Amino acid sequence: MRHAQTDANAQVPGREPGRRMTEGIGPQRRTERGPAVRFIAHAGAGRGAFGRRWPPIAAALGTLGIEHTVELTSRAGEAAELAARAAGEGARLVVAVGGDGTLHEVVNGLMTAARSLGERPLVGLVPAGRGSDYARGIGLATEPATLVDRMAAALDGDPGAVHPVDIGEVRYRTTPTVAGRTLGAVGGETASRWFVNAAGTGFSTFVAERVSRFPGRLGAYLYTVAGLVTIVDWRDRLVELGWDDGTRDEVRVESVEVALGPYEGGGMLVAPGADPADGQFDVVTIGAVGRLEMLTFSWRIRTGDHLRSLAVASRRTRSLTVRALDEGGPLFLQADGELLGRDPLRFDLLPSAARFVW
């Protein structure tokens, strides 16, 4: 998750990144070690959207008497650490305030801290990022009072406010650079990461790298522009795909997308049939095509029309392995837009591994 240099104190007076602030008025909905609700916010997400989104959320929390803490992140990876700490302190609900990258870190922190579903806090989201594709996919309300009302209902035991959702786990090899971005990791080690919305390899990884560098003022066109630039020097790859039924395919692809949610890349309908609670990945592969057809995908994919192409295939599975068969170098990996590592890759679905509030 890329953290912009944002003056959080200018957005929320008295707040400093990394500091915990306790707010709210009611003693109810507390744990023995503090408020039951923890908000973890990336103040720089969505071109400073936190500063616009938070005041009405705070007002709604106050109206319902929900005591809570707010913690602002100051560096990549800190949201995961704060979420893990919140779980260890007995929080009942941990809410990410930001985009898909912030949610990705929060979920990873909670999964690390508590391996069993019953031990994990509920997960919430206040969309305030550039993409917010997971929120779009589940139809999450954006009105502050509605969001907070659902949180209150979940805390009060309303089963209709809590939804079990699947989580993906991907194993990969670390590498010092991914798609040209220096990560500083030691190369060759086996690592794993959880993801909540989608992961991919091939074309989408290079798009994700460019999105992280391009100016946020491009707004809704950010992902489209990054994709168009990537088409210029991209080459398809020969890969082996291993499915949960034991079959293996050798195919030339532009991209392999492993989806839990239908949207990816800032509103692109990559996997229209994906459901984050159906116990299956929707794997969308784009086979080798010419640059002209790749260009058409830049707008067709926004409505799901790309699936009409004979070069595009969609298949459901609970696991998938991917490795390069050509000499084109590593197959790089992104998960929820975060650049991680390289092949060989193994994706496994963890059914109903998190409880989401909406």
Domain boundary among 116, 137, 157: 157
Are residues 133 and 247 located together in one domain of the fold? no
From its phi and psi, is residue 98 left (phi > 0), alpha (psi between -120 and 50) or beta? left
Q: Which pLDDT score, from 0 to 100, does residue 218 have?
A: 59
CATH number at residue 38: 3.40.50.10330
Structural domain span for residue 106: 8-157
How does pLDDT run across 17-26, given as a tens digit for each residue? 444 444 443 3
Residue 47: band (very low, low, confident or very high) from pLDDT cuts 50, 70, 90: low
Mean pLDDT of all residues in 56-82: 96
Residues 6+ apart with CB under 8 A from 245: 317
Q: Are residues 152 and 208 in the same domain?
A: no
115 and 191 housed in the same domain: no
Which among 125, 157, 189 is the end of a domain? 157
Structural domain contains residue 357: no
Residue with the bigger pLDDT between 182 and 168: it is 168
Q: What is the dihedral of CA 232, 214, 261, 120, to 10 degrees?
A: 140
Residue 67, domain member (yes or no): yes
C-beta of residue 140 within 8 angstroms of C-beta of residue 125: yes
Q: What percent of the chain has pLDDT over 90?
A: 68
Q: For residue 183, what pLDDT is reported?
A: 80
Q: Same domain, yes or no, for 137 and 180?
A: no
Residue 232 sits in a domain of what CATH number? 2.60.200.40
- So what's the pLDDT on residue 229? 82
My answer on whether 94 and 223 are in the same domain is: no
Same domain, 146 and 187: no
The predicted structure's pLDDT at residue 214: 63
Higher pLDDT, 258 or 32: 258
Domain assignment present for residue 47? The answer is: yes
Q: How far is CA 298 from CA 106, 197, 198, 218, 266, in A?
A: 30, 20, 18, 16, 12
Confidence of residue 1 (pLDDT cuts 50, 70, 90): very low
- pLDDT: is 213 or 62 the higher one? 62
End of a domain among 135, 157, 179? Answer: 157
Residue 147 CB neighbour total at 10 angstroms: 24
Domain match, 207 and 133 both: no
Residue 13 DSSP symbol: T
Q: How far is CA 20 from CA 152, 189, 329, in A?
A: 21, 35, 44
Q: Are 281 and 318 in contact (CB under 8 A)?
A: yes
- Check whether residue 227 and residue 342 sit in a common domain: yes
Structure token digits, residue 120? 């994990």
Question: What is the phi-psi region of residue 267: left when phi exceeds 0, alpha when psi lies from -120 to 50, beta otherwise?
Answer: left
- The reply to whether 182 and 136 lie within a common domain is no
Q: Is there a domain that residue 310 lies in?
A: yes
98 plus 219 within the same structural domain: no
Considering the chain, what is the average pLDDT of its residues?
Answer: 87
pLDDT at 143: 96
Q: Is residue 73 part of a domain?
A: yes
- Does a structural domain hold residue 1? no
Q: In this predicted structure, what is the pLDDT of residue 12?
A: 46
Q: What is the pTM of this model?
A: 0.87
Residue 300 dihedral angles phi and psi, to the nearest 5°? -65, -30
Q: What is the pLDDT of residue 210?
A: 80
